[in-house]
Amino acid sequence: MLIKKSAVELGQLIAAGEVSAVEVTQAHLDRIAVVDDRVHAFLHVGSGSALEQAAAVDARRAAGETLGPLAGVPIAHKDVFSTHDMPTTAASRILQGWRPPFDATVTARLRAAGLVILGKTNMDEFAMGSSTENSAYGPTHNPWDLTRIPGGSSGGSSAAVASYEAPLATGTDTGGSIRQPAAVTGLVGMKPTYGGSSRYGLIAFASSLDTPGPFARNVLDAALLHEAFSGHDVMDSTSIDAPVPSVVAAARQADVAGLRVGVVREFSGDGYQPGVLARFHEATELLESLGAKVVEVSCPAFDYALPAYYLIAPSEASSNLARFDAMRYGLRVGDDGSRSAEEVMALTRAEGFGAEVKRRIILGTYALSSGYYDAYYGKAQQVRTLISRDFDAAFEQVDVLVSPTTPTTAFPIGERADNPMAMYLADLCTIPSNMAGNAAISVPCGLADEDGLPVGLQIMAPVLADDRVYRVGAAVEKALEDRWGGPLLGKAPQL
């Protein structure tokens, strides 16, 4: 079946002329038609546009043009990236039906690489959440168990790849929104170094944290997608003017002999599901058996990353979301000629923003207000500096750090909906890498004993050492697939 093949395999088949890009695209559109009413991974499926894109790839190849390794391969695109030919809503009512006049840089680079954009995926509204339950258009379901969450905020992307609706997907990671969904759906999810992938055309949540990255079913596929859309962008003032690390070569190397691996002491113990810790400890033992030297490393400031994040990110969100004012684009409520602009803004925001978005705007506005700025936002930024220093000190001792990606497996839909603090704890292990801006990846490391659901291993490396996490991730993947007799996703119940 075409839908079960990796992105690399599909690219090779298309390049060899054994199958056309149109046939591959149609196979995935057919799969979406069969399963997405249950998964709800997509907010918009652009069938006609996707087939046109695929036909254009086939025509270019027939004309003798040399194309990249992912040309003709379908991809699901998170609905936070601007697309001129499809709605871009960030899963919010306030942007319902909005079509941007331009493409995000990531979108433009996907098109340039010949990838076929199938449609836009569901997400937590404005990327604020860890379960995709905060979408204004309803929750996405985990393909492993449709009663459970697929992670968030990029849960539509993770569910699309895990349910074979697409071989690849894009996501954004502000506090773990790629790695955590990847972990709970048995996928590979990568947060590149901050500034390594462009934010231009990305609807902003927290500008100093947001990072586009790839989802895939294996490490090499993720590396190829990473290289396809990353790199310096003059349109993004935070973009790093440096070459993209050789992540594809590292993914093909898959060797950890002699590598120093640090286990983060702070990411274990109370609050962690026993099955998650069991799979994590097995993964570290596996790394030792492959020739790595594993030691324990303490990063004490990591204990304060979660509260610091939930001051910094909402503060930036309260500023970024001020642009949704009902005056220029998007939803407009109460504009009957009898109300002032201020009243229309208030009515529109009240109806257009969901509860979690309102909660974070209020929290951020409070943290930035006169008399509280130094006590809250300023202190949180000082904690951020301490987290970066802990990373620096750790990477003087080891080459990479490892931890569970998230403390638990996928929880039931609705279980934490009324408990924001419990929801926020899903990002406990992932947030430090966002605060410091370094590279981090999640790769599958088995199934928890309690519920048979996927567990993720998080691998963290220094800034601009993205290739290092792919090298380690590929080695773990190969060894575990040899042990399991194939990819972890093959153990998922079939939809």
Each residue of 394-430: pLDDT tens digit?
A: 999 999 999 999 999 999 999 999 999 899 999 999 9
- Average pLDDT (184-204) is 98
What's the confidence (pLDDT) of residue 494? Answer: 85
Active-site entry in 20, 163, 177, 403: 177
Is residue 353 scored above 90 in pLDDT?
Answer: yes
What's the confidence (pLDDT) of residue 166? Answer: 98
- Average pLDDT (216-231) is 98
What's the confidence (pLDDT) of residue 269? Answer: 82
How confident is the prediction for the chain on average, in pLDDT?
97
pLDDT tens digit string along 113-162? 999 999 999 999 999 999 999 999 999 999 999 999 999 999 999 999 99
Task: Find where tokens 């509280």 sit.
Answer: 372
Is residue 2 scored above 90 in pLDDT?
Answer: yes
The fold for domain 2-301+385-491 equals Amidase signature (AS) enzymes (3.90.1300)
What's the confidence (pLDDT) of residue 495? Answer: 87
Active-site entry in 6, 82, 153, 157: 153
Q: Omega before 153 cis (within 30°)?
A: yes
Cα 418 from chain centroid (whole Å): 24
What's the confidence (pLDDT) of residue 381? Answer: 98
Confidence class of residue 367 from pLDDT cuts 50, 70 and 90? very high
Confidence class of residue 328 from pLDDT cuts 50, 70 and 90? confident
Residue spans per domain, the chain: 2-301+385-491
Q: What is the 3-state secondary structure (H, E, C) of the chain?
A: CHHHCCHHHHHHHHHCCCCCHHHHHHHHHHHHHHHHHHHCCEEEECHHHHHHHHHHHHHHHHCCCCCCCCCCCEEEEECCECCCCCCCCCCCHHHCCCCCCCCCHHHHHHHHCCCEEEEEECCCHHHCCCCCCCCCCCCCCECCECCECCCCCCHHHHHHHHCCCCCEEEEECCCCCCHHHHHHHCCEEEECCCCCCCCCCECCCCCCCCCEEEEECCHHHHHHHHHHHCCCCCCCCCCCCCCCCCHHHHHHHCCCCCCEEEEECCCCCCCCCHHHHHHHHHHHHHHHHCCCEEEEECCHHHHHHHHHHHHHHHHHHHHHHHHCCCCCCCCCCCCCCCCCHHHHHHHHHHHHCCHHHHHHHHHHHHHHCCCCCHHHHHHHHHHHHHHHHHHHHHHHHCCEEEEECCCCCCCECCCCCCCHHHHHHHHCCCHHHHHHCCEEEEEEEEECCCCCCEEEEEEEECCCCHHHHHHHHHHHHHHHHHHHCCCHHHHCCCC
Residue 174 corresponds to which tokens in the numbers above?
């502000």
What's the confidence (pLDDT) of residue 6? Answer: 98
pLDDT tens digit string along 271-280? 999 999 999 9
Active-site entry in 5, 20, 78, 268: 78
pLDDT tens digit string along 311-325? 999 999 999 999 999
Is residue 223 scored above 90 in pLDDT?
Answer: yes
Could you tell me which residues are beta bridge partners of residue 403?
458
How many CA within 13 A on the CB side of residue 262?
21
Is residue 77 scored above 90 in pLDDT?
Answer: yes
- Average pLDDT (38-48) is 98
Residue 446 — φ and ψ, nearest 5°?
130, -170
177 catalytic residue (yes or no): yes
Is residue 270 scored above 90 in pLDDT?
Answer: no
298 catalytic residue (yes or no): no
Could you tell me which residues are beta bridge partners of residue 145?
142
- Average pLDDT (216-241) is 98
78 catalytic residue (yes or no): yes
- Average pLDDT (350-369) is 96
